[in-house]
């Protein structure tokens, strides 16, 4: 599989060396960036599969860059350190969007494998995050519906089954989600209980 790679490195010589290495590994260069702003712009335009970021950006800009690449543009990041570079803080290396960490010089086979694993792991991570969000929304919806049922049971002397059926029927009649109906019930109850 051909990988589209964004290479971010302020050192032009190292950037050219890594470009040669990547092209020799069936990788397509989506873009070359010397700094974070340029990298984000290329990521937005080219939508690379993965970014290789040389960890030389100080003042938190490296962390900000990896956050933006992974969160905003869906690009996993492989960080590269070593070769005279300052050691990378563990907190930065352990961020969610960073899917790989290498020390330069990097054997070609290691780089290619790390890039492939980074792309696969990032896809898995995003799928899990989306699944967790769906579950969170489901739990929230259930809480809202339970609260609305309780209000209907209390105010209308209904059984739990009758209260649920009423919310469900209103949802079908209006073609609106049950959570929306439940929120309206809760809001109505709050308004009627508010002091005048």
Domains and CATH numbers, the chain: 3-106 (3.40.50.2300), 133-193 (1.10.10.10)
**pLDDT on residue 127:** 87
**pLDDT on residue 71:** 87
pTM: 0.67
Token representation of residue 126:
């995003």
> According to DSSP H, which parts of the chain are helical?
12-23, 36-46, 61-67, 90-93, 108-156, 160-174, 178-193
Q: Hey, is 160 helix, strand or coil? A: helix
For the segment 9-16, the average pLDDT, to the nearest whole number, is 88
- Rounded distance between C-alpha atoms, residue 132 and residue 122, angstroms: 15
**pLDDT on residue 196:** 60
For the segment 145-154, the average pLDDT, to the nearest whole number, is 92
Q: Please, which pLDDT band fits residue 95 given cuts at 50, 70 and 90?
A: low
Task: State the Rg of the chain over Cα.
Answer: 26
CA distances from 134 to 6, 125, 127, 141, 184 (A): 31, 14, 11, 10, 22
Q: Please, which pLDDT band fits residue 151 given cuts at 50, 70 and 90?
A: very high
**pLDDT on residue 4:** 94
- Rounded distance between C-alpha atoms, residue 144 and residue 129, angstroms: 23
pLDDT tens per residue, range 169-191? 999 999 999 999 999 999 988 88
Q: Please, which pLDDT band fits residue 147 given cuts at 50, 70 and 90?
A: very high
- Rounded distance between C-alpha atoms, residue 176 and residue 179, angstroms: 8
Q: Please, which pLDDT band fits residue 155 given cuts at 50, 70 and 90?
A: confident
């Amino acid at each position: 599989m051909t990988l589209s790679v964004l290479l971010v490195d302020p050192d032009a010589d190292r950037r050219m060396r890594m470009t040669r290495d990547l092209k020799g590994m069936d990788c397509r260069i989506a873009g070359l960036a010397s700094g974070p702003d340029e990298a984000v712009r290329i990521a937005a335009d080219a939508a690379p599969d993965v970014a290789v970021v040389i960890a030389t950006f100080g003042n938190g800009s490296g962390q900000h860059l990896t956050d933006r690449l992974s969160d905003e543009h869906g690009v996993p990041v492989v960080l590269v350190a070593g070769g005279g570079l300052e050691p990378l803080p563990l907190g930065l290396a352990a961020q969610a969007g960073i899917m790989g960490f290498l020390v330069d010089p990097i054997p070609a086979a290691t780089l290619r494998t790390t890039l492939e694993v980074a792309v696969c792991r990032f896809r898995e991570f995003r799928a899990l995050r989306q699944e967790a969000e769906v579950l969170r929304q489901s739990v929230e919806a259930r809480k809202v519906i339970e609260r609305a049922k309780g209000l209907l049971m209390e105010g209308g002397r209904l059984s739990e089954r009758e209260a649920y059926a009423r919310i469900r029927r209103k949802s079908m009649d209006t073609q609106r989600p049950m959570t929306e109906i439940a929120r309206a019930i809760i809001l109505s109850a709050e308004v009627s209980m508010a002091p005048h």
